[in-house]
Structure 1
Amino acid sequence: MSKIPQNPEVIVVGAGTAGLSAATALLAAGIETVVLEAAAHTGGRCVTDTTTFSAPFDRGGSWLHSVSLNPLARLAEQRGAVLHKAPWLWSHVHTEGYDLTSDEVLAYRGYQEAMWLAINNRGAETPDTTTAAAMPDGPFKTSATCSIPQMMAGDADLVSAADVYNYADAKGDWLVGGGLGAFIQDLHPGIPTQLNCPVSKIDYNGTGVEVTTPQGVLKAKHLILTVSTGVLASGAIEFVPALPIQKQDAVEMLPNGLLNKVGIEFDPAWCDATQGQIADYHTGDDAFCSLLFGFFETSIATGFLAGRFGEALEKEGVGAATDYCLQGLRTVFGNDVTKYVLRTDETNWSTNALTLGSYSYSKPGGAGARKVLAETLDERIFFAGEATMTETYATVHGAFLSGQQAAERVIATRVGASATLTRLKI
């Protein structure tokens, strides 16, 4: 890490994708910048684990979504990254004691497409409603409802249909060889960053900004804040004066939802599922997981558990989420499958004090809160992060773009300054 300025022109709070993106742009414009990160590592909610399994495991963000619209996909192509572009499709579905036939699995895929189309169509209308209320009838409605939290991080009866409509979607979800978290870090070398440095207070009473940390008080002209809405809602950071009511209301309308992962590495001798296959496992109510096989064309699978059910398993204790995924494996592939499991691990994003969740969703009526959250405060505090993005929320490229946009706004306040924004070329 570079030497940390004590009184930089700009302080960036959070060394996740948004914070690193903002800092890179500001430094390229010749603006002295320091990043303060509460964790012992950079990356935030986009971090690659290279030690647990024999291949990389992205504990948070893992896909380049909507690749035709995704600037990170262009950077990955330009840098010659290994890209895994194969589509993911359902191959097995077990729902409430019943295994779907192959024809029924095809129909399940069709219902999933029809479901998202119906939600988008309803989201274009007013008044706003929940995704659950917008779903079409069909034989797979109950199980498909449980898959919504895996996309939105919130349950179907909590998530805004208008927010879904606003999202800019395009086909193509790629994995980056070596892990997306590692790729993001490689994009931003040499950023002056103070790790293990949580911010407890942001004072903007005066002409600049004062930030209180365990290492002391830092002062700056401007501050870019990239922490999650979970952290903002928790009160872990004191604001002096308090955030305006409209900001507080925006945070309340944009909870930081949950998507947890269970990594499962198989002995390569097990070949009953291959890269790109998905098995859904639903045992009733909101008890549901999806198992995706062959990450990075290896013998690693990932189980996804989200929303209320994922949170309940996390609160139950270490191993509960893994046990549910293994139960799903045995049900779908037979009891012998677990003999081939070499190692497992699971994430715990809802109880991680530095994130308090995975990514944001909007409550019904709250889709416009993203713009409010993104608004600059007193030309000194600038907000970034996936939750501030109306069309690319809940994504790594949304966080990336939000950081660049926040940097642009900082530069725009420098009246008479010659600095201009230098984006990472895409």
Structure 2
Amino acid sequence: MVLPANLDVIVIGAGAAGLSAAQSLRQAGFETVVLEAADYIGGRCVTDTTTFSAPFDRGGSWLHSAPINPLARQAEQTETQLHKKPWSWAWVHALGHTLPEDQVQAYQNYQDELWLAINAAGAQAGDLTTQSAMPTGRWAQTAMHSISQMLAGDADVTSAKDSSNYAQAKGDWMVEGGLGAFIKRLHKDVPVQLNCPVTRIDYSGVGVKVTTPQGTLQADHLILTVSTGVLGAGVIEFVPALPASKRAALEQLPNGLLNKVCIEFDPEWRGAVQGQTADYHTSKDEFCSLLFGLFDTNLAVGFVAGRFADALERQGAGAATDYCLAGLRETFGNSVEKHILCTDETAWRSNPNTIGSYSYATLGGAGARKTLAEPLAGRVFFAGEATMTHTYSTVHGAYQSGKRAADQILSIQTQFAAKARNAPQHDCG
């Protein structure tokens, strides 16, 4: 792609946020291009179609809160096949004990109570960590780790108020063929320049200038969708520097970690089906969840999150897989391994284009999302899941944030055009 030197809008990042922003702007007639540092489209929502016999979403994979999710409506309109079966616990191994069926049900009931208590605490004045807001109960030590899998940060550092702000509706759907592939199809006409990292954003003068390996590009406006991990690490230089309010918001919204281990079983294995989950907890932080039957196939996925996921990733490739396999053996016996055809794992912390999975708010940081979303100088706009107060950490939140940033630019242009029409006209004749 030959990049024009002057554009109406530059969008940085080809994930759900950047793609939706660019699509809206192009439909409104704005010359817009998306610059992506990676060699693929999708950002943190990408479907692997080559490793296994079925698709594996390495990042975002669910249409969360489906009844109020705009992407779910898009999927329904395109008659995409959707997997709507709810997920529930079938097996739990907690600190050396495999729970009998009645206790597994009690464990699930406690999980429901846990989130109700966190949301109730978050709705009050002040803030607590999600751990402090948890109800007492027999399963608290183990169920606590579900928090890190949902929020990507551990219970002792995440904000109950931020959690209570999340717009929850019952229903988490999967998209046949993978959510990443669906997002890519939805935005297939958006031009993206791959392998084009932005290293400098200069908004000191008129418009915005960005520095890339392809040279310096200029535009009237810019939409920035990169993760808080990348922004917080200072990968991109800002001229002038980001204001103190933005830097403080980034400190309160670190990019957390959720890694996945995908496991494919041979077709003869019938140990579990879609919708069944196994939790495996061996010590304070060592915990994984295993979900079976993705897309009604013989794929399973293991989740590790928070500090434990970081520790496993530092150990190197295979450490997360080994822990999940130990959970499988504990649940189904050692013979289960002979049915495993293939495994693979993600390492989002090591990805230089994300430096983590998705954001969480630290204690007192729930308001930081709104601060992060505020435009700079009327020219630099911020999008991405971290900028969404009610739909953070989700693909549809990222998608909505891109639409919001595009609307902000469209509103500025509309106001500018109105002022021009209403300006006094001078007759020089």
Name the TM-score, length of structure 2 as normaliser.
Answer: 0.96
Aligned position for 2:207: 208
In 1: Cα distance, 2:280 partner to 2:256 partner = 21
Letter in 2 for 1:14: G
Q: Which residue identity does 2:57 align to in structure 1?
A: D
Q: Using the TM superposition, give the Cα deviation of residue 4 of structure 1 relative to its aligned residue in structure 2, in angstroms.
A: 3.4
Q: Distance in 2 between matches of 1:322 and 1:6?
A: 46
> In structure 1, what is the Cα distance between the partners aligned to 2:387 and 2:43?
16
Report what 2:339 is aligned to: 340
2:96 matches 1:91: no
Q: Which stretches in structure 1 are left out of the alignment for 5+ residues?
A: 419-426
Alignment-mate amino acid for residue 291 of structure 1: L
- Structure 1, 3-12 or 189-198: larger mean CA deviation: 3-12
- Aligned partners of 1:8 and 1:375: how far apart in 2? 22
Structure 2 counterparts to residues 3-14 of structure 1, below 5 A: 4-14=3-13
Answering whether residue 306 of structure 2 is matched by residue 316 of structure 1, we say no
SS in 2 for 1:372: helix
Letter in structure 1 aligned against 2:185? D
Hey, what does 2:99 align to over in structure 1?
A: 100
Q: 1:122 maps to which residue?
A: 121
**Paired residue for 1:147?**
146
Tell me the matched-pair count. Answer: 417
**Residues 228 and 115 of structure 1: CA distance in aligned 2, closer, same or farther (over 3 Å):** same
Superposition deviation, residue 417 in structure 1: 3.9
Matched letter for residue 363 of structure 1 = T
What secondary structure is seen at the aligned counterpart in 2 of 1:118?
A: helix
**What is the SS of the residue equivalent to 1:274?**
coil
**What does residue 378 of structure 1 align with?**
377
- 1:151 partner SS: helix
Residues 57 and 179 of structure 1 are in contact (CA less than 8 Å); yes or no, is this contact kept in structure 2?
yes
- Once the two structures are superposed, the pairs formed by residues 353-372 of structure 1 within 5 Å of their partners are 353-372=352-371
Q: Work out the CA distance in 2 between the residues paired with 1:6 and 1:398.
A: 31
Give the structure 2 partner of residue 306 of structure 1.
Answer: 305
After TM superposition, give the deviation of residue 416 of structure 1 in Å: 4.0
* Matching residue of 2:425: none
Q: SS state of the match for residue 90, structure 2? A: strand
Asked if the contact 2:4–2:217 (Cα under 8 Å) also holds between the matched residues in 1, the reply is no
Aligned 1:401-412 pairs, distance under 5 A: 401-412=400-411
Matches within 5 A, 1:17-416: 17-414=16-413, 415-416=415-416
Q: Could you tell me which amino acid in structure 2 is paired with residue 159 of structure 1?
A: T
Larger radius of gyration between Structure 1 and Structure 2: 2
**Structure 1 SS opposite 2:282:** strand
| CA–CA distance in structure 2, aligned partners of residues 326 and 286 of structure 1 | 17
Shift of 1:180: 0.2
Q: Distance in 1 between matches of 2:105 and 2:355?
A: 37
What is the CA-CA distance between 1:5 and the residue it aligns to?
2.7
Where 1:328 maps in the other structure, the secondary structure is helix
Specify the SS of the correspondent of 1:90. Answer: strand
> Residue 367 of structure 1: SS of its match in structure 2?
coil
Distance 1:117 1:416 in 2: 47
Tell me how far apart the structure 2 counterparts of residues 63 and 360 of structure 1 sit (CA, whole Å): 17
Q: CA deviation at 1:3?
A: 5.3
Distance in 1 (alpha carbons) for counterparts of 2:190 and 2:111: 42
CA contact (8 A) 1:4 1:192 kept: no
The CA deviation string for residues 150-188 of structure 1, in whole angstroms up to 9 with x for no partner, is 000000001000001100000000000000000000011
Deviation, structure 1 residue 147: 1.5
Task: Verify the 8 A CA contact 1:387 1:393 in the aligned structure 2.
Answer: yes
Q: CA deviation at 1:272?
A: 1.1
Cα pair 1:4 1:193 within 8 Å, conserved: no
Q: 1:417 to 1:31 in 2, by over 3 A?
A: farther
Percent identity for Structure 1 against Structure 2:
65
Q: Secondary structure at the match of 1:304?
A: strand
Distance, in Å, in 2 between the alignment partners of 1:189 and 1:121 is 42
The runs of 5 or more residues in structure 2 that have no matched partner are 419-429
Runs of 4+ in structure 1 deviating by more than 6 angstroms, as ranges, are none
The amino acid that maps onto 2:253 is L
Distance 1:3 1:84 in 2: 40
Question: Does the residue aligned with 1:278 lie in a helix, a strand or coil?
Answer: strand
2:423 alignment partner in structure 1 = none
